[in-house]
Structures are given as structure tokens and as C-alpha cells.
């Protein structure tokens, strides 16, 4: 059913209705099989507009949130390298691999890291490096990234991640603010960090260390 052309069309129409406009991202979402990233018992709900559990007290974000974050990280002329903090099930990772030349994704929970590695390998994606580690540390083996995306909410922007962002690079992240969470887009310029409030969101907290 999930490969049915009419079903896929309705799924994309729903995202358009919610305000997603980038046709490249919509095309990627239309062709990427979201159900393979979902626990078997929940696969009939894979295309519902809900966050779903993926085990280890983590979730896969709703299709709209994934599409929105992908849309606001997109810059036509600056899509070289991206660092993702929080691989989770690998769904956002797979989308990033279709947008950027190279993707580094860090997951602190080994069980999710191993599972995502297997799922992404089944899609034969060649431009992804998966790391089991602490996202607060970033990825020191690569000096700078054009973009960084966080799929878990820290209490403040991690300094080491800002240090690994190219000048004119951007960061998309949820942040804890006054008891709630907001999604922000940060732009790193020679004059400092420009911060834009995007929307109210709810993500799992970003924790230190790896397990």
C-alpha cells in the first residue's frame, strides 16, 4: 500500500498543505520508503503525521517536521557537507544524503547506531559516515561543515558544534526555552551568529556521553 502511487500523492499533498514548498525535498520524501525506518508493529502508521517510537526512548519525528527541517537547512549553492547530531533510525540521514555531497551522522545510543547502519546500507547510500559517539563533541576529524542539524534538544547551543560550522554555514536545532522548545535556524557570519525563531517543537533531550 505504501508504494501505491495514489497513496504517495496524498502523502505529499498533505505536506504541501502544511506549508512545505521545496519540490526537491518533496520528491525525496515521495520516493524514500519511510516504513523501513519504523518498527514492524508500527509500519501501518509510517506515513501518519505523528512522531513514532523507535525504541530506546527515542522517536522518529513526524514527516512534516522532517520536511520542515530539511527545507530550512537547504541552500541551493551551499550543500557540500552536513553534520547530523542524532541519527536515530536514519530517516533524516537518508534525506540529507540526497541533498548534500557528504553526511556525517552521530548517534549516542549504540543499538540505534547499529540498526540505522543496517537500514541505510540496504538503500546503498555511499556518502554517509555513521559515528557512535557524543554529539556534543561533534566530529573533529573534519574541521568544518556547511550545515549542522540537531534532532535532539540541548539546553544551549553546544560550543564545539558552532566551532565546527563554516563561516556562512547554518545550524538547525531545537532548544529548550522557558520550559518549552523552539526550533531555530542559526547563521554563522563574520559579524557573529544570526538566530531565527522558526516554530514551537517537541524533541527528545540531547544528552551527553554515549551508551
Q: Which distant-in-sequence residues (6+ apart) come within 8 Å of 67 by Cβ?
A: 15, 20, 25, 26, 29
Q: Which distant-in-sequence residues (6+ apart) come within 8 Å of 207 by Cβ?
A: 108, 152
> Which of 13, 11, 69 is CA-nearest to residue 45?
11
Q: Examine the residue annotation and report whether 61 is marked as an active-site residue of this protein.
A: yes
Q: From the candidates 9, 14, 61, 105, which is the catalytic residue? A: 61
Distances in Å between the alpha carbon of 102 and those of 55, 130, 152, 178, 180? 27, 11, 21, 35, 32
In the three-class reduction of DSSP (H, G, I as helix; E, B as strand; rest coil), residue 50 is classed as coil
Enumerate the β-bridge partners of residue 126.
none
> Which residues are known to be catalytic?
61
Amino acid at each position: 500500500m505504501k508504494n501505491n502511487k495514489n497513496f504517495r500523492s496524498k502523502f505529499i499533498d498533505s505536506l504541501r498543505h502544511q506549508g512545505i514548498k521545496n519540490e526537491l525535498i518533496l520528491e525525496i520524501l515521495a520516493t524514500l520508503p519511510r516504513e523501513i525506518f519504523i518498527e514492524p508493529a508500527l509500519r501501518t502508521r509510517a506515513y501518519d503525521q505523528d512522531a513514532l517510537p523507535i525504541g530506546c526512548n527515542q522517536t522518529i519525528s513526524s514527516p512534516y517536521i522532517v520536511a520542515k527541517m530539511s527545507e530550512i537547512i537547504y541552500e541551493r549553492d551551499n550543500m557540500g557537507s552536513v553534520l547530523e547530531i542524532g541519527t536515530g533510525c536514519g530517516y533524516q540521514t537518508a534525506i540529507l544524503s540526497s541533498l548534500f555531497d557528504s553526511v556525517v551522522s552521530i548517534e549516542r545510543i549504540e543499538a540505534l547506531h547499529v540498526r540505522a547502519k543496517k537500514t541505510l546500507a540496504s538503500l546503498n547510500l555511499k556518502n554517509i559516515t555513521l559515528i557512535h559517539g557524543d554529539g556534543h563533541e561533534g566530529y573533529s576529524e573534519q574541521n568544518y561543515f556547511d550545515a549542522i542539524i540537531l534532532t535532539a534538544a540541548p539546553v544551549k547551543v553546544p560550543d564545539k558544534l558552532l566551532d565546527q560550522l563554516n563561516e556562512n554555514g547554518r545550524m538547525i536545532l531545537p532548544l529548550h526555552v522557558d520550559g518549552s522548545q523552539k526550533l531555530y535556524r542559526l547563521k554563522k557570519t563574520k559579524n557573529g551568529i544570526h538566530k531565527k525563531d522558526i516554530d514551537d517543537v517537541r524533541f527528545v533531550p540531547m544528552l551527553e556521553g554515549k551508551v
